[in-house]
Structure 1
């Protein structure tokens, strides 16, 4: 979902919210660092989908205007120190044309082990496959996709080690309605399971980590700024279990985090790398934010 903060934000208000944001977030993960990424390119910004390599050194990102970029992440003392990106290129449809407006609202990103790229779209709810960004291969649509809200549909996309896709909408309906999750295998999309909704947070990104767990990035918008939360779940053949909240940030601790990639560092710890969507709005920023989950020191062979 594209969010445009309304009204003027005064220096006093910004200072106050940033001071409040200095408080530590709750949960099990701890904040390692944030890196503000800038680039002089009119296509830069609006990043909503994110994928990261197994070693955390390379990334792929898409914007909600059908732009695609890859790059290298350089770290010093465990913190992001620089980004070395490739050129930003258009993400084109099946006709070889970059879609515009609602048709080009690309939000979720997942990349298979063999390098195939999958993108979920929020305007016209669908998922497409790409061998390269130059041309989409449309995938079948679940009947439920047509009933989703145009600006609150398929925000999150993930892929497991068997190549099965998982997607869910940003909005579930009311606060008491869980998020529906659909899974696609060789036979097409199926109703897979639901994820309980907790409070006013909305689903904006997902990934399946090297531990086989399902990680859900959620965003809360208060009118004064953004809050972020990551929950993770045990992923089984029948649904989700063992829910944990890894962190929940206060307002303005981070910008509008919408994309997430999960990997394991050299010490065996699970690392969450997230990217923010600046909505092409001057007061916002594109940042990469990292959290470490210290208790995840070794893979669990019982998890799929």
Structure 2
């Protein structure tokens, strides 16, 4: 069960625990048990993050309302390095991908408004190539993002600058890759450590239906735009996103209204650590476009963030839009796996 950070009195904690026990629905873990069924189970515990802005009780951050967060501590280091995320079953389950080529799934216990309370039923298993060998054996395991579309599951790999196609659902986790998406030399030639980092499938009712949006992590400097691509069955077309303040793109996800949320991260000695979310008009994503979007959230070391790399969007049973953010701890004892939830106020 989740272990609260030690900033409450024992009496208050007991009352709050009893309240949460009543308030939290018996969230289903069926989906978490049905995917990666042959994966290895991992013991884990969580610490609840009560406030996003450290030392402050505010929950409103522009268009976002902070619902709550968790720090995940797993018994196996392979659960670290979480770099891509899908939010499943109204937020009750998740599928993630690690930057060393593993699937990770789990169940999320949450309150009726989406506040995460605990993470359980965690399993992991390596991604397999078309030949049944692991991606690590194929040196294509630097997997950074994943997205789900009608044609299946897609995963981006930064070092190879490739997009892998997998079947959905992953019943056992032993399913083989269907194949790689055909990409032009321009994408293949992106720098190995700053290549395809973000990947998301366009909404079904948009002008981009049936296409993927892939975004490079970085560029030579702030004066150079981020390379972005519209990847479709008939080819690939490019557009650009303005880069600024030394932020790198780490993930992206479409909103129910067709808008795009771009998650960016700073992680350097000059700026220390930083997180930024930009909202981009989905209708403006066209070949040759140069886009900037609107900043809807920016945070630094004074907030409960780490190396933020994964973003997922889902709508709950009330029709509310929920953003889930996840950090990559690089499998280091000096970093954390942080799981954050926000509600987007339309």
Do the aligned partners of 2:83 and 2:328 also contact (CA within 8 Å) in 1? yes
Q: What is residue 277 of structure 1 aligned with on the other side?
A: 328
What is the aligned residue count? Answer: 276
Rounded to whole Å, the distance in 1 between the matches of 2:52 and 2:262 is 27
How far apart are 1:228 and its partner, in Å? 0.7
Matched residues in 1 for 2:183 and 2:52: separation? 45
2:213 paired with 1:166: yes
User: 2:91 aligned with 1:45, yes or no?
Assistant: no
**Alpha-carbon distance between aligned partners in 1 of 2:257 and 2:119, rounded to the nearest angstrom:** 26
Deviation, structure 1 residue 270: 2.2
Whole-angstrom distance in 1 between the partners of 2:321 and 2:292: 17
The answer on whether the counterparts of 1:272 and 1:291 sit within 8 Å (CA) in structure 2 is yes
Q: CA deviation at 1:26?
A: 5.7
Report the alpha carbon displacement of residue 284 of structure 1 after superposing the two structures with TM. 1.1
Given that 1:94 and 1:138 are in contact with CA atoms closer than 8 Å, whether structure 2 keeps it comes out as no
The 1:28–1:67 alpha-carbon spacing in structure 2 relative to 1, beyond 3 Å, is same
2:296 aligns with 246
1:187 aligns with 2:187: no
Q: Secondary structure at the match of 2:251?
A: strand
User: Following TM superposition, by how much is the alpha carbon of 1:242 offset from its aligned partner in structure 2, in angstroms?
Assistant: 8.0
Residue 245 of structure 2 corresponds to residue 208 of structure 1: no
* Aligned twin of 1:92: 128
**Bigger RCO of structures 1 and 2 (CA < 8 A, at least 6 apart):** 1
1:144 is aligned to 186
Q: Which residue of structure 2 lines up, in the alignment, with residue 7 of structure 1?
A: none
1:119 aligned to which of 135, 142, 155: 155
C-alpha distance in 1 between matches for 2:331 and 2:83: 12
Larger Rg: 2
Distance 1:219 1:19, change over 3 A: closer
Matched with 1:11 is none
What is the Cα deviation at residue 20 of structure 1? 8.4
Give the equivalent residue in structure 1 for 2:337: 286
Q: What residue number does 2:276 align with? A: 229
Partner residue of 1:104?
141
> Could you tell me the TM-score, scaled by structure 2's length?
0.73
Equivalent-residue separation in structure 2 for 1:284 and 1:170 (angstroms):
21
Q: Give the match's secondary structure for 1:103.
A: coil
Q: Which runs of 5+ in 2 are unaligned?
A: 1-50
What's the CA shift for 1:19? 12
**How far off is 1:40 after superposition?**
1.4
SS in 2 for 1:92: coil
What residue number does 1:6 align with?
none
- 5+ residue gaps, structure 1: 1-17, 297-304
For residues 70-81 of structure 1, the aligned pairs below 5 Å read: 70-76=105-111, 78=113, 79-81=115-117
Higher deviation after alignment, 149-158 or 74-83: 74-83
Instruction: Quote the residue 2:101 is aligned against.
Output: 66
Residues 209-229 of structure 1 deviation map (CA, whole Å, 9 limit, x = unaligned): 212111101001142742111
Secondary structure (helix, strand or coil) at the match of 1:32 reads strand
Tell me, yes or no, if structure 1 residue 33 matches structure 2 residue 84.
no
- Preserved contact between residue 234 and residue 242 of structure 1 (Cα < 8 Å): no
Structure 1 distance, partners of 2:112, 2:72, is 18
TM-score normalised according to structure 1 size: 0.83
Asked if 2 retains the 8 angstrom alpha-carbon contact of 1:273 and 1:291, the reply is: yes
